[in-house]
Amino acid sequence: MISDDIFNESKLYMPGGVNSPVRAFKDVPLNPPVIKKGKGAYIYDEDGNEYIDFVCSWGPMLLGHCDEDVVNAIKSTCENAISFGATTKIELDLAKYICTTVDNVEMLRMVNSGTEATMSAVKLARGYTGRNKIIKFAGCYHGHFDDFLVDAGSGVMTEGIPGSAGVPEDSIKNTLVAQYNDLKSVEKLFEKQGSDIAAVIIEAVAGNMGVIPGDEDFLKGIRKLCDKNGSLLIFDEVMSGFRVAYKGAQSIYGIKPDITTFAKIIGGGLPCGAYGGRKDIMEKLSPLGPVYQAGTMSGNPVVMAAGLATLKKLHTHPEYYVHLEKLGKKLEDGVKDIAKKKKLPVVINRCGAMFALFFTENSEVRNYKDAKKCDTGIFAKYFEHMISKGIYIAPSQFEAVFLNVKHTEQDIDRFLEAFSTFEI
C-alpha cells in the first residue's frame, strides 16, 4: 500500500513518522492512511480510498476542505503578499472583524497556534495581576506549554501519561489542578491560595477528554470566584470558538471571560492563533505595556486572508449553525438508538458540532476521572471498524467527532449504517 510505504519511510526522518503524536495511530491497531487531498466533507488517501472526514483537521475545517472562498482568498493574497513581518491591512481587517462580531474581545493579538495563544494569555494574566499561580482542570488540554502539562487531555491522555518528560518541576509548581464540573475543588484552591492566583483557564465545553460540556452553575461559579479574588478568567475557545456557536461557548452560557483564546477555525485551515479580551488587560502587552510577546510570522497575510474569508462566510450564514445542530442531533439520536438496540455500553455527549461516544458502563461522563474509566480496547475495535467503512474519526477515545457545514444527512446516515454493524 502506498500509504504504508510513505508512513514507514516517514518514520526514518520524523519521530514516530509524524509531526504531532496522535497522528501516529499508536493506540489503534492500524497504520494511519496518508492523506493526499480533501474536498468538502471528504478526504482521500494516497491509495485512492475515500473517507467521510469527521476529524476536520482536529476542528479547523468547519467549512469543509478547500472551500472555494477560502481557496480564492489564499490565492489572491499570496500573489502579492506572503510575509513581510510588518503591519498589513489584512491583519487589521481580521482583528476588527473578530472584535466587532464576537463579544468580550475589545482588542486582540494574533499568534501562530493554539499553544501560543494559551501560553501568551497566561503570561499576560500573570503580568496583569502580578501573581504566578494558575488553575487548570484535569483533562483539559491547552497545548504543549510546560505549565499546562499536568493531568492534560488530548494526546497526553491518549498515551495514558500524567504529563511530559522534559518539564522541570519549577515550571509546574504554579499550576493548580481542579476537577471539571466540580466547583468545590476550585473553591478549595481559592480558599488556600486565592491571593496568589493570576488566572483560571478552562475549556467551557471541554473537547480534549472526549466532549464534556461544563455545567452552567460550575462555570458561573468560577466567574464569581475569579471576581472575588481578583483573578482573571481565561476561556480557551481554541476548539469551541466559532464551532459550538459563532460567538463560542461563552455565548451559550452568557459568561464574560476576561481573556479568550482562539486558533483552529480563525485561520481557515492555516496556522493561526489569537488571544483577546478587555482593553485594559490587552494594553499590558508590549509595545504598550510590560508583558513581552512577539512573533515573526504573527498576523501573516495569507493566514489572515484565509481566516477572514472563513469567519465572514460563517458570520453571514447563520443557517450553517442550524444545519450543524440538525446533523449533530441526528447523529446523537441515531447512535443512541443503535447502542440501545445492541445493548452497547455507551455514553454520548454533544455540544453542537462536537460529539463524543464513550465506551463505558458509567451512566454519565462529566470529568477526567469518568473519561479515564472508558474502555479504550473497545474504542480501538470500533475505530478499526469505522475506518474500514470509510468513516474517518480521531484514533482516540479522548478526542471529539467534528462535523462541518459540508456534511449532509446522507453522510450521517453512512456513519450510522457503519456503527450499526459494529460488534464488540
Ligand X SMILES: Cc1ncc(COP(=O)(O)O)c(C=O)c1O
Q: Which residues contact 331 (CB under 8 A, 6 or more apart)?
A: 350, 355, 401, 403, 412, 415, 416
**Which of 102, 135, 197, 238 touches ligand X by CB under 6 A?**
238
Positions marked active-site: 141, 236, 264
Q: Which residues contact 210 (CB under 8 A, 6 or more apart)?
A: 349, 356, 357, 358, 365, 371, 374, 397, 398, 399, 400
CA–CA distance, 106 with 340 (Å, rounded to integer): 47
| Site track for ligand X across 198-237, x = CB under 6 A | -----x---xx---------------------------x-
Helix axis angle, 183-193 relative to 216-229, nearest 10°?
A: 10
Stretch that binds ligand X, among 49-57, 79-87, 113-121, 220-228 (CB under 6 A): 113-121
Peptide bond into 21 cis (omega under 30): no
Minimum distance, C-beta of residue 158 to ligand X, in the bound complex (Å)? 12
By rule CB under 6 A, what count of residues binds ligand X?
16
Minimum distance, C-beta of residue 218 to ligand X, in the bound complex (Å)? 17
Would you count residue 115 as binding ligand X (CB under 6 A)?
Answer: yes
Q: Which is nearer to ligand X, 142 or 366 (CB)?
A: 142
Would you count residue 142 as binding ligand X (CB under 6 A)?
Answer: yes
CA–CA distance, 47 with 31 (Å, rounded to integer): 13
Q: Please list the alpha-helical segments (H only) found in 215-357.
A: 216-229, 248-253, 279-282, 301-316, 319-342
C-alpha cell at 206: 471541554
SS3 content of the chain, % helix, strand, coil (to 5): 45, 15, 40
Would you count residue 260 as binding ligand X (CB under 6 A)?
Answer: no
Site for ligand X in 240-259 (CB under 6 A): none
Would you count residue 269 as binding ligand X (CB under 6 A)?
Answer: no
**Which of 33, 114, 210, 269 touches ligand X by CB under 6 A?**
114
DSSP code, position 249: H
| Site track for ligand X across 68-97, x = CB under 6 A | ------------------------------
Where on the chain is the footprint of ligand X (CB under 6 A)? 58, 113-115, 118, 141-143, 154, 203, 207-208, 236, 238-239, 263
